[in-house]
Chain A
Amino acid sequence: MNRPATVTTLQAAALVAGSIIGVGVLPLPRVATLAADTGGPLVTGVAVLAAWLALWLITKLGTLFPQQSIFQYSEILLGRWLAAIGTLLLICFFAFLASLAAREFGEVVVTAVLRKTPLEMTVLAMLLLAAIAARNDVRTFSYIHMFYLPFILAPGILIIALSLKNAVSLNLLPLWGNDATALSVTHGILTIASLFQVAFVVTIVIPHMKQPQKALKASSWGVVIAGGLYVAIVLATIAVFGSEETRLLIWPTLELAKTTSLPANILERLDAAFLAIWVTAVFTTLLSTYYLTIHAISQLFRLKDHRLLTYFVLPFIFWMAMLPQSVLQLYQIVELVGRIGLCITFGYPIILLLVWLLRRRGVSSS
Chain B
Amino acid sequence: MRERNFMRLLRFLRTGFAVVLLPTLLLPLGGCWDRLEIEKRAVVLGIAVDSATAKEAGDDNKVTHLGRELPKVETHKLRITAQIAIPGRIPLGPGEGGSGGGKPKPVWVVSAYGHTIDDAMMVLQQKLSDRIFLGHLRVIVVAEDVARAGMSNINDYFRRNPQVRRLAWMIVAKDEAASLMAANPELKRVPALYILAMMDHAVEMGKYPDEFVGKFWSKRSSKGRDPHLPYVQMEAGETFSLKGMALFDGDRMVDYTDPLQIGVFMAMTNIQSGGYSVYTPRENLMYRATYRSAKTRLKIENGHPHFRIDIQVEGNIEEKPNESYDLETAAQLAALEKRLGAAAQKGALALIALTQEANADIFGFGELVRAKKPAFWNREIRTKDNWHRMYKKSTFEVNYVIKIRRVGMKAE
- Scan residues 214-246 of chain B and give those whose CB is less than 8 A from a CB of chain A: 214-215, 217-223
Q: Give 23 CB contacts A-B under 8 Å.
A: A114-B34, A115-B34, A115-B162, A117-B34, A170-B367, A171-B222, A173-B374, A174-B371, A178-B370, A178-B377, A178-B378, A241-B214, A241-B218, A241-B221, A242-B218, A242-B221, A242-B222, A244-B223, A245-B220, A247-B221, A255-B166, A259-B167, A268-B167
Count of chain A residues near B, Cβ 8 A: 31
**Shortest CB distance A250–B (Å):** 9
A245 touches B222 (CB 8 A): yes
B97 at the interface (CB under 8 A from A): no
B377: chain A residues at CB < 8 Å are: 178
A244 touches B162 (CB 8 A): no
- Scan residues 27-66 of chain B and give those whose CB is less than 8 A from a CB of chain A: 28, 32-34
Task: Provide the bound-state CA to CA distance between A198 and B150, in Å.
Answer: 46
A136 at the interface (CB under 8 A from B): no
B372 touches A244 (CB 8 A): no
B368 at the interface (CB under 8 A from A): yes
Task: Provide the bound-state CA to CA distance between A268 and B368, in Å.
Answer: 32
Task: Provide the bound-state CA to CA distance between A261 and B371, in Å.
Answer: 28
B115 at the interface (CB under 8 A from A): no
Task: Provide the bound-state CA to CA distance between A240 and B223, in Å.
Answer: 15
Residue from A115, A116, A258 within 8 A of B165 (CB atoms): A258
A187 at the interface (CB under 8 A from B): no
**Shortest CB distance A241–B (Å):** 5
10 further A-B pairs in the complex, CB-CB below 8 A; given A241-B218, A248-B159: A173-B371, A174-B371, A178-B370, A179-B378, A179-B382, A244-B222, A245-B218, A255-B166, A258-B165, A268-B165
Residue from A178, A242, A245, A269 within 8 A of B374 (CB atoms): A178
B364 at the interface (CB under 8 A from A): yes
A118 at the interface (CB under 8 A from B): yes
A112 at the interface (CB under 8 A from B): yes
Task: Provide the bound-state CA to CA distance between A166 and B214, in Å.
Answer: 10
B221 touches A258 (CB 8 A): no
A242: chain B residues at CB < 8 Å are: 218-219, 221-222
Residue of A115, A174, A261 with most partner-chain B CB within 10 A: A174
A114-B33, A117-B33, A248-B221 given; A259·B370 CB < 8 A = no
Residues of chain B at the chain A interface (Cβ within 8 Å)? 28, 32-34, 159, 162, 165-167, 214-215, 217-223, 364, 367-368, 370-372, 374, 377-378, 382
B371 touches A244 (CB 8 A): no
B165: chain A residues at CB < 8 Å are: 258, 268-269
A170 touches B33 (CB 8 A): no
Task: Provide the bound-state CA to CA distance between A178 and B370, in Å.
Answer: 8
**Shortest CB distance A167–B (Å):** 11
A140 at the interface (CB under 8 A from B): no
A38: chain B residues at CB < 8 Å are: 371
B367: chain A residues at CB < 8 Å are: 170-171
B33 touches A116 (CB 8 A): yes
10 nearest A-B pairs in the assembled complex, by CB-CB distance = A173-B371, A244-B221, A245-B221, A174-B374, A117-B33, A245-B218, A116-B33, A112-B162, A114-B34, A259-B166
A178-B378, A269-B165 given; A170·B221 CB < 8 A = no
A245: chain B residues at CB < 8 Å are: 217-218, 220-222
Task: Closest B residue to A176 by CB, please name it.
Answer: B374
B370: chain A residues at CB < 8 Å are: 173-174, 178
Task: Closest A residue to B377 by CB, please name it.
Answer: A178
A111 at the interface (CB under 8 A from B): yes
A173-B371, A173-B372 given; A111·B221 CB < 8 A = no
Task: Provide the bound-state CA to CA distance between A286 and B313, in Å.
Answer: 56
Task: Closest A residue to B210 by CB, please name it.
Answer: A166
**Shortest CB distance A72–B (Å):** 36
B364 touches A269 (CB 8 A): no
**Shortest CB distance B134–A (Å):** 12
B28: chain A residues at CB < 8 Å are: 121
Task: Closest B residue to A258 by CB, please name it.
Answer: B166
Task: Closest A residue to B368 by CB, please name it.
Answer: A170
**Shortest CB distance A253–B (Å):** 13
